[in-house]
Amino acid sequence: MNFIDSHCHLHDSRILFDIPHILDRADKAKVRYMVSCATSEDNFEFTATLSGQYRSVLPCFGIHPWFVKARSKQWKERLEQYLLAYLSGIGETGLDFTDKTVDRDEQIKVFEHHLALARELERPITIHIRKAWDDFIHILKKHGKLKVPGLIHSYSGSADMIPFFETHGLFISFSGSVTNPGAKKVVAALKRVSKNRFVIETDSPDIYPYLSEPTVSRLNEPKNLPAIAQLASNRIGMEFEDFSRHAYENSLKLFYSIFK
């Protein structure tokens, strides 16, 4: 049984010192590929370097909504430079209105530029949405169905929105949050996703799953993906092997254009 971590952040400063061991542990857990998403211009280069050193690392480049204010005046040029230089996806990008003081229009403008690039370059796009579902739906209606599939990572929306997102070319990704015994909304959403539209992720080093074994560190890593798959499949009453096979095959379809 093979796995693909559809969303993680291997550039994160908390795990940089341990990257070779993290990737070795992922390989032993049969996590064959990890989609590592840059979040700002500051980590574009390391993400690119990592993907060059390790065949299992698939890079994505984007401006995360948390870091929109920190972008440079040349951010568009720098983003396109990396996207054209490397076989890569777009993201992490999106909308996050959790902080009510953020400039929503600025986030929307940056996000729409990423969407335009995804359409122009025909690349998969990784989307972060928090407390901005209405605006996101409006943007999707305006832009229409994606030419190349994208995904909503660590899905936190309602189950009722799933069919709309699927018809607009999106896969739905579930993280360790689905293993939380109290995460009824997330489980309901996973049950609603079509079998050919769900993928799984760790969002490493964040969202450590609810595992039974004790751990010294609460930093997440890709090796935990099979455990997430096991717990997620249990929560929706699906056989582990069947669940894992669908997640793996769906990830292959989603990221086919950036496989090395």
Map tokens 């489980």 to a residue: 187
Please tell me the pTM assigned to this model: 0.96
3-state secondary structure of 42: helix
Helical spans, DSSP H, in 33-132: 44-53, 75-85, 104-121
- Closest to 88 in 3D by CA, of 50, 116, 137: 50
Which residues, including other chains, have CB under 8 Å from residue 101's CB and lie 6 or more apart? none
| Residue ranges at the known binding site for a divalent metal cation | 7, 9, 92, 128, 153, 203
By residue count, the chain amounts to 260
Q: What is the pLDDT along the chain (260 residues), one digit of tens a residue?
A: 999 999 999 999 999 999 999 999 999 999 999 999 999 999 999 999 999 999 999 999 999 999 999 999 999 999 999 999 999 999 999 999 999 999 999 999 999 999 999 999 999 999 999 999 999 999 999 999 999 999 999 999 999 999 999 999 999 999 999 999 999 999 999 999 999 999 999 999 999 999 876 566 689 999 999 999 999 999 999 999 999 999 999 999 999 999 87
- Tell me phi and psi for residue 124, to 5 degrees: -70, 145
List the domains of the chain with CATH numbers.
Answer: 3-258 (3.20.20.140)
- DSSP letter (8 states) at residue 41: G
| Residue ranges at the known binding site | 7, 9, 92, 128, 153, 203
